[in-house]
């Protein structure tokens, strides 16, 4: 359960422009975030490790034993780019590009490209992949990571072996080699991934329904690291960079917290309590990976830039300790596929070096799109996660339920013996508070973080109140 990585000096990370407007619905003013968690300084390694560049890491092994890195080395980029020029071009959507990012950095290790049919079928039926050259052992792989093409593109590809992938801005992003084209049975993919085919699943409507009827798999070579130029690229640490940082901090346990919502004090309580429990277990230096999801989210989720600013306030206000916390962006898009997706969220964090994963109520869940109920049983996520093939080496930490304790006037673990003292503040309720300008109960969220949300929702209301311009 250990492996050797080569540590090297991280490239100097330039300061980023946080005044750039990163979300069209968000017009709040920008100030630099992460004053107290400035990764650009923390990534300067101490002399000792620079002298001895190869150290034994005690971090959990990535799936398949080796962290996948599909970014072409700089000295080969021109050559590969010329080669790609001569290939049939396949157009990527914004979300396809997020998946290219995910695959290229090894979050889905040992996956080396978009899935071919044998990988797709294993993912769909078994939520796992059998390794070909490791005694047939299994790694978890619960979401199909696939690239769809339409009939016309398939026609253009013809008998080609390799194709070039072109980003939404028409720049060539990557090469896909030794391709395999197979049928995209959308109904089956949706049914087996979500456990429903009801209309209104966000990822289905946004990604799958408009997609082509074919899937194209192959080995990926990405011409240069994927960047978004949204002022947040420095917070998109790759699994390799995260592992380097955990080693630099001499972490002997890494616990990951996946989120796509603002952090309230209940979350913070949980994370701090987890650290305490890990110390009790004998770990000397547990590090928290606070890991907001940065890819596609549904329209009514709080956008990434606002969440990142909110998270920074939580660290500034001292609710979480910057010395033992790393905040970074997980580049995956959201599926909202509950028990199937939570496995992906956990598996990707193994590849980033986390050996503990916190799982809450109804992870990656949402309301049923056509019925008045949760789409998934709220307990199934953690049950499925704890039994999932390929995740045996990951320690699953079930979320204890936190709620607002009206007596202690703070977020606290729910105590069923005095249930009436507790107030559950749902996302919807929080949103209503923020929109109406009403303050949540004292101690629900640090004031700086709350302020970010109030401004965001106020900006939405201004936008909603402004009549849309008539386009020519």
- Nearest-angstrom CA–CA distance, 448 and 319: 11
Q: Which of 60, 384, 412, 430 binds a copy of itself (CB under 8 A)?
A: 384
Stretch that binds a copy of itself, among 215-223, 304-312, 358-366, 383-391 (CB under 8 A): 383-391
Out of 134, 392, 442, 463, name the contact with a copy of itself by CB under 8 A: 392
Nearer to a copy of itself by C-beta: 119 or 316?
119
Return the residue matching tokens 């309590």.
273
Question: For a copy of itself, which residue of 32, 65, 167, 195 counts as binding (CB under 8 A)?
Answer: 195
- Stretch binding a copy of itself (CB under 8 A), from 99-107, 173-181, 228-236, 387-395: 387-395
Closest CB to a copy of itself among residues 126, 413? 126
Considering only 9, 66, 88, 387, the residue that binds a copy of itself (CB under 8 A) is 387
Torsion of Cα atoms, 427 then 432 then 437 then 442, to 10°: -50
Q: Provide the 8-state DSSP code for 231.
A: S
- For the chain, the distance separating the N- and C-terminal CA atoms, rounded to the nearest angstrom, is 62
- Residues paired with 57 in a beta bridge: 3
The Cα–Cα gap between 106 and 352 comes to 9
Look at residue 36 and give its three-state secondary structure: helix
Number of residues that bind a copy of itself (CB under 8 A): 34
| DSSP 8-state assignment for residue 127 | S
Considering only 154, 156, 277, 383, the residue that binds a copy of itself (CB under 8 A) is: 383
Q: Which stretch binds a copy of itself (CB under 8 A): 48-56, 225-233, 262-270, 373-381?
A: 373-381
Interface map 78-107 toward a copy of itself (x if CB under 8 A) = ------------------------------
Q: Kindly state the smallest distance separating residue 178's Cβ from a copy of itself, in Å.
A: 18
- State both tokens at 127: 């939520």
Q: Which range, of 151-159, 238-246, 254-262, 377-385, touches a copy of itself by CB under 8 A?
A: 377-385
Residue 194 touches a copy of itself, criterion: CB under 8 A: yes
Does 114 sit near a copy of itself (CB under 8 A)?
A: no
Binding test (CB under 8 A) with a copy of itself, winner from 77, 192, 400, 431: 192
Phi/psi of residue 329, nearest 5 degrees: -105, 130
Segment interacting with a copy of itself, rule: CB under 8 A, options 85-93, 102-110, 186-194, 328-336: 186-194
Q: Using an 8 Å Cβ cutoff, are 6 and 66 in contact? A: no
C-alpha to C-alpha distance for 160 and 410, rounded to whole angstroms:
62
Q: Which is nearer to a copy of itself, 93 or 122 (CB)?
A: 122
Q: Does 180 bind a copy of itself (CB under 8 A)?
A: no
53 to 72: interface string for a copy of itself, x by CB under 8 A: --------------------
> 274's torsion region: left (phi>0), alpha (psi -120 to 50) or beta?
alpha
Phi and psi based region of residue 400 (left: phi greater than 0; alpha: psi -120 to 50; beta: remaining)? beta
Q: What angle do CA 375, 379, 380 make, to 5 degrees?
A: 70
Place of tokens 């790609």: 84
Lookup result for tokens 């703070």: 410
Taking the C-alpha atoms of residue 135 and residue 127, their distance in angstroms, rounded to an integer, is 19
Q: What part of residues 118-177 is at the interface with a copy of itself (CB under 8 A)?
A: 118, 121-122, 125-128, 130, 136, 138, 142
Among 83, 117, 150, 321, binds a copy of itself (CB under 8 A): 117
Judged by CB under 8 A, the residue of 37, 104, 258, 340 near a copy of itself is 340
Quote the CA–CA distance of 268 and 266 in Å, as a whole number: 5
> With binding defined as CB under 8 A, does residue 203 bind a copy of itself?
no
- Report the SS3 class of residue 351: helix
Encoding tokens for residue 219?
């080995």
Distance of CA 205 to the CA centre of its chain: 20
Between strands 356-359 and 325-327, the pairing is unpaired
- For a copy of itself, the binding residues (CB under 8 A) are 117-118, 121-122, 125-128, 130, 136, 138, 142, 183, 185, 187-188, 191-192, 194-198, 339-340, 376-377, 380, 383-384, 387-389, 392
């Amino acid at each position: 359960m250990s492996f050797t990585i080569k540590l090297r000096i991280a490239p100097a990370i330039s300061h980023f422009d946080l005044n750039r407007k990163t979300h069209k619905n968000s017009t709040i003013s920008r100030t630099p975030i992460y004053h107290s968690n400035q990764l650009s300084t923390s990534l300067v390694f101490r002399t000792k490790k620079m002298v001895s560049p190869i150290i034994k890491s005690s971090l959990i092994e990535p799936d398949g034993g080796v962290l996948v890195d599909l970014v072409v080395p700089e000295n080969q980029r021109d050559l590969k780019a010329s080669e790609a020029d001569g290939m049939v071009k396949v157009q990527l959507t914004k979300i396809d590009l997020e998946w290219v990012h995910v695959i290229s950095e090894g979050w889905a290790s040992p996956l080396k490209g978009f899935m071919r049919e044998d990988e797709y079928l294993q993912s769909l039926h078994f939520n796992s992949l059998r390794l070909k050259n490791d005694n047939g052992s299994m790694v978890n792989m619960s979401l199909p990571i696939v690239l769809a093409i339409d009939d016309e593109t398939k026609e253009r590809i013809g008998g080609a072996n390799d194709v070039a992938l072109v980003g939404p801005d028409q720049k060539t992003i990557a090469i896909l080699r030794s391709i395999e084209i197979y049928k995209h049975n959308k109904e089956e993919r949706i049914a087996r991934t979500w456990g429903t085919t009801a209309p209104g699943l966000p990822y289905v409507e946004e990604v799958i329904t408009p997609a082509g009827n074919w899937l194209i798999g192959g080995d990926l070579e990405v011409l240069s690291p994927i960047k978004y130029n949204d002022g947040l690229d420095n917070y998109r640490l790759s699994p390799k960079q995260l592992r380097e940082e955990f080693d630099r901090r001499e972490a002997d346990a890494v616990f990951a917290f996946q989120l796509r919502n603002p952090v309230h004090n209940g979350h913070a309580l949980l994370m701090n309590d987890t650290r305490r429990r890990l110390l009790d277990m004998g770990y000397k230096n547990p590090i928290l990976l606070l890991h907001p999801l940065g890819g596609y989210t549904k329209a009514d989720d709080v956008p990434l830039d606002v969440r990142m600013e909110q998270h920074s306030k939580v660290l500034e206000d001292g609710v979480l300790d910057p010395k033992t916390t790393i905040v970074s962006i997980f580049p995956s898009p959201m599926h909202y596929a509950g028990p199937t997706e939570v496995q992906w969220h956990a598996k990707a964090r193994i590849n980033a070096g986390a050996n503990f994963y916190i799982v809450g109520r109804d992870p990656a869940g949402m309301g049923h799109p056509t019925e008045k109920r949760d789409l998934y049983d709220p307990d199934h996520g953690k049950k499925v996660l704890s039994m999932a093939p390929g995740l045996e080496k990951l320690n699953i930490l079930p979320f204890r339920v936190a709620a607002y304790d009206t007596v202690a006037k703070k977020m606290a673990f729910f105590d069923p013996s005095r249930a009436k003292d507790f107030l559950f503040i749902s996302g919807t309720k929080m949103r209503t508070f923020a929109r109406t300008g009403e303050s949540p109960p004292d101690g629900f969220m640090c004031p700086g973080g709350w302020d970010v949300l109030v401004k965001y929702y106020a900006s939405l209301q201004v936008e909603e109140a402004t009549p849309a311009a008539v386009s020519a």
